[in-house]
A and B are shown apart, each in its own frame.
Chain A
Amino acid sequence: MEIYWLLGIPLTGGIFLALWGCRKHAPEINALVSFLTLLAAALLTHRIIDQGPMMVGAGWFFIDSFNVFLVALTAFVAFTTALFSRPYMRIEQEHGKLNAQRLRLYHSSYQIFIAAMLLALTTNNMGILWVAMEAATLATVLLVSLYRTPASLEAAWKYFILCGVGIALALFGTILLYFAAEKVLGSGGTALLWTHLNGVKAQLEPTVLSLAFVFLLVGYGTKVGLAPLHSWLPDAHAEGPTPVSAVLSGLLLNVALYAVMRSKVLVDGALGNDMAGNLMMGFGLLSVVLAAFLIKRQTDVKRMFAYSSIEHMGLITFAFGMGGAVANFAALLHMTMHSLTKSAIFFAVGHATQKAGTQLMDGIRGLIKTNPTIGWGLMLGTVAILGVPPFGVFASEFLIITTAMHEHPWATPFLLLALGVAFASIFGKVQPMVFGETELPKLPYQPALTPVFLHLGLVLMLGLFIPPYLAAWYRQAAQLLGG
């Protein structure tokens, strides 16, 4: 039952905001809808912990510990982002970057985007998964171009075309999957249900499945931002409004990776070898290394953190590629940490750029003097994402690297080098932004920083102590992925 609430609330909210969204209280309604979605997600999570994996609605939806954890994360970050965007978008409107019409588009698309992601996470049908991923792209295209500047239009166009082509390849992969499944399960709606496929995965035709996985990986991998298919990601993150950057980076990339993982479980079962894992390790490692060196060259702060997202998604993909209980556990933990930390960073960066009136890092100086909360938020967020010990990112990165040392020692130097380069360049660039000298006045508004510290607090807590039931939950999810 909760599942219908979970999907229905954001969808109805999106339609409602499209029709009535010009009203004064649209931002509050947006936050309220996200809060209700979070409640539904919490109820669903509670039930899954209580009763174990389940199928709902005649097999159309399937919830196990792997996707319920992402559902909870998605609903949580969506809610905090809605809280952040309430004052943030008001300030943007007062700066004249937006009008009421576009704000309405923003709120409506935001909710539909969340609904599409939740559908992608909960559906049991690999075809519907594709449809929902495409819907999530379409919902965000007009969000990226919300400011209608030449650069934002270019970014949105690139996003649309590249992800469109990528997702078309994923459709071909899905067709091939259906082709293999049809022979075993017979034609009709049930042949694409993941639970059915999972039951007969050993009988699926290996050649077709390996070809299907290549298409699915490249297709959904474009949305994960894996190198060399990443080129839309920094543009879309840098040119879109900050709340959109936060949800793209913190949520959409995870959902796309989720789609890859669901396919990987099937392919592993059919092939009985490491082909899928090796491909993912290759793409992941390339992304980590390439992104780390590109971070060094960035001048735009949002672009820099977008590259950092590519780096971290690469790391997670690499960890999933290694497989095994520990690596999967670490990858799931890192997914959580990255989502929370990166969205917190984008919140802080959003206010910092509003204050400085530019996204160029040279123009942002001395945040700690004029707006200490923004400064501390950015600094702590940066320290957290770079994997400095008390924070949770350290724990997951440590696990990934030790596993890599143990199982694939050849990859370790690349990973360490990339993480080192990323650390040096990001820290070196953020430090003067926070502690440098400035003549700029204080931001005349009250920044919305509760979400930043809430996220960072969670990351810190998970770094120091993972509650046993959460650890058990991660372990269970890791097992489902073939631990």
Chain B
Amino acid sequence: MTLTYHLQIVNLLAALLLLISFAMLSQRRIVGLVTLFAWQGAALALSTAIVAWSTDQHHLYYSAAITLVLKVVAMPWYFYRLVRKLDVNRVVEPMINIPTTMLIGIVLVIFAFNLALPISEMSGTVTRSTLGIALACVLLAFLMMITRSKAIPLVIGFLAMENGLFFAATSATYGMPLVVELGVALDVLVGVFVLGIFIFQIRETFDSLDLKHMEKLKER
């Protein structure tokens, strides 16, 4: 009885994740994007914690805590600071207009559900039905990366993709072994740190964070 109750909350949170992914696709401001990313992290941490509680998978508590610290507190804080320091919070139009992006997004969701169907049928976890949503989040983040030309949104897209993968791992297998998850978290942390340095370098050299300046290296 309680299990179904928990499961419904997890499903609700999964739906929320998907909704946030779509919201990210349509967000024009960088600060708004960072906020959405923080909310996505919060939904992810909460759903991981609930799965941990209802299935007695103790190592998932650790992953939930890592998600909370890294993706809800540390990284958004760092990005807010970066945006303020660099003063880049303007309205930026994606390269493809937003309604079209949304339509492509819907097609991707259908594709993701079809792809996930055979796998989730084989899965023994109670959360298997959310695998399709996880995969959809990955693909939507991927789409966001394709349609953005600024450095910070691109990075947030990348992190959102990692969120989706993390959610996929939780729903298909109750998460990866703890040591692997710690390693992945460390890599993501170092990655964001490297990117911070990198963004300042780009800014210094090009005087802008628009990646349209970076299209010189092509095959002629």
CB-defined contacts of B214 to chain A, threshold 8 Å: 150, 153-154, 157-158
B220's closest neighbor in chain A, by CB? A297
Binary B-proximity of A116-157 (CB < 8 A = 1, otherwise 0): 000000000101101100110010011001001111011111
Least Cβ–Cβ distance between B142 and chain A, in angstroms: 7
A192's closest neighbor in chain B, by CB? B177
A281 to B20, CA, bound (A): 40
Q: Is the CB of B186 within 8 A of A145?
A: no
CB-defined contacts of B162 to chain A, threshold 8 Å: 168, 171
CB-defined contacts of B37 to chain A, threshold 8 Å: none
A158 to B169, CA, bound (A): 27
- Determine whether B198 belongs to the interface, using a CB cutoff of 8 Å to chain A: yes
B142's closest neighbor in chain A, by CB? A165
Q: Is the CB of B168 within 8 A of A175?
A: yes
Least Cβ–Cβ distance between A433 and chain B, in angstroms: 20
Known: A138-B194, A175-B169, A208-B119. A189 touches B187 (CB 8 A): no
Q: Is the CB of B119 within 8 A of A211?
A: yes
B181's closest neighbor in chain A, by CB? A127
8 Å CB contact of B119 from A138, A176, A294, A297: A176
A231's closest neighbor in chain B, by CB? B219
Q: Is the CB of A171 within 8 A of B177?
A: no
Q: Is the CB of B217 within 8 A of A158?
A: yes
Closest 3 CB pairs of A and B: A127-B180, A131-B183, A154-B214
Q: Is the CB of A150 within 8 A of B216?
A: yes
CB-defined contacts of A128 to chain B, threshold 8 Å: 179-180, 183
Listed stretches A179-187, A381-389, A418-426; interface member: A179-187
Interface footprint category on B: 35 or more
Least Cβ–Cβ distance between B25 and chain A, in angstroms: 17
Q: Is the CB of B180 within 8 A of A131?
A: yes
> Can you list 13 A-B pairs, Cβ within 8 angstroms, ordered by A?
A125-B180, A127-B180, A130-B180, A142-B198, A148-B204, A153-B202, A153-B206, A157-B151, A165-B142, A178-B176, A179-B123, A207-B118, A297-B219
Q: Is the CB of B194 within 8 A of A141?
A: yes
- Determine whether B96 belongs to the interface, using a CB cutoff of 8 Å to chain A: no
8 Å CB contact of A172 from B118, B168, B220: B168
Q: Is the CB of B202 within 8 A of A157?
A: yes
- Determine whether A164 belongs to the interface, using a CB cutoff of 8 Å to chain B: yes
Least Cβ–Cβ distance between A250 and chain B, in angstroms: 22
B154's closest neighbor in chain A, by CB? A161
- Determine whether B211 belongs to the interface, using a CB cutoff of 8 Å to chain A: yes
8 Å CB contact of A175 from B118, B165, B201: B165
Q: Is the CB of A150 within 8 A of B205?
A: yes
Known: A148-B205, A154-B215, A297-B219. 12 other contacts (CB 8 A): A131-B180, A131-B183, A138-B190, A145-B201, A164-B191, A175-B169, A178-B177, A188-B177, A189-B177, A191-B177, A205-B122, A208-B119
8 Å CB contact of A192 from B161, B180, B219: B180
8 Å CB contact of B217 from A127, A151, A176: A151
Binary A-proximity of B92-130 (CB < 8 A = 1, otherwise 0): 000000000000000000000000001100111000000
Q: Is the CB of B219 within 8 A of A155?
A: no
Binary A-proximity of B135-166 (CB < 8 A = 1, otherwise 0): 00010001001000001001000100110010
- Determine whether A160 belongs to the interface, using a CB cutoff of 8 Å to chain B: yes
- Determine whether A235 belongs to the interface, using a CB cutoff of 8 Å to chain B: yes
A176 to B216, CA, bound (A): 38
Q: Is the CB of A127 within 8 A of B198?
A: no
- Residue from B165, B169, B187, B214 having most chain A Cβ neighbours under 10 A: B187
Q: Is the CB of B198 within 8 A of A187?
A: no
Interface residues of B in 9-37 (CB under 8 A from A): none
Least Cβ–Cβ distance between A271 and chain B, in angstroms: 16
Least Cβ–Cβ distance between A207 and chain B, in angstroms: 6
8 Å CB contact of A127 from B119, B154, B177: B177
Mostly helix, strand, loop or mixed at chain B's interface? helix
CB-defined contacts of B211 to chain A, threshold 8 Å: 157
Known: A138-B191, A141-B198, A154-B214. A175 touches B183 (CB 8 A): no
Q: Is the CB of A153 within 8 A of B219?
A: no
CB-defined contacts of A155 to chain B, threshold 8 Å: 217
Q: Is the CB of A164 within 8 A of B123?
A: no
Q: Is the CB of A127 within 8 A of B183?
A: yes
Known: A134-B187, A161-B158, A207-B118. A154 touches B178 (CB 8 A): no
Q: Is the CB of A164 within 8 A of B158?
A: yes
Q: Is the CB of A171 within 8 A of B184?
A: yes
Least Cβ–Cβ distance between B170 and chain A, in angstroms: 10
CB-defined contacts of A149 to chain B, threshold 8 Å: 205
A153 to B145, CA, bound (A): 19
- Determine whether B197 belongs to the interface, using a CB cutoff of 8 Å to chain A: yes
CB-defined contacts of B184 to chain A, threshold 8 Å: 127, 130-131, 134, 171
CB-defined contacts of A125 to chain B, threshold 8 Å: 177, 179-180
- Determine whether B73 belongs to the interface, using a CB cutoff of 8 Å to chain A: no
A174 to B177, CA, bound (A): 11
CB-defined contacts of B198 to chain A, threshold 8 Å: 141-142, 145, 153, 156-157, 160
CB-defined contacts of A160 to chain B, threshold 8 Å: 194-195, 198
Interface residues of A in 177-216 (CB under 8 A from B): 178-179, 182-183, 187-189, 191-192, 205, 207-208, 211
CB-defined contacts of B119 to chain A, threshold 8 Å: 176, 179, 208, 211
Least Cβ–Cβ distance between A329 and chain B, in angstroms: 33
Binary A-proximity of B24-61 (CB < 8 A = 1, otherwise 0): 00000000000000000000000000000000000000
Known: A131-B180, A141-B194, A192-B180. A172 touches B201 (CB 8 A): no
CB-defined contacts of A135 to chain B, threshold 8 Å: 187, 190
CB-defined contacts of B187 to chain A, threshold 8 Å: 131, 134-135, 138
CB-defined contacts of B158 to chain A, threshold 8 Å: 161, 164-165, 168
A235's closest neighbor in chain B, by CB? B217
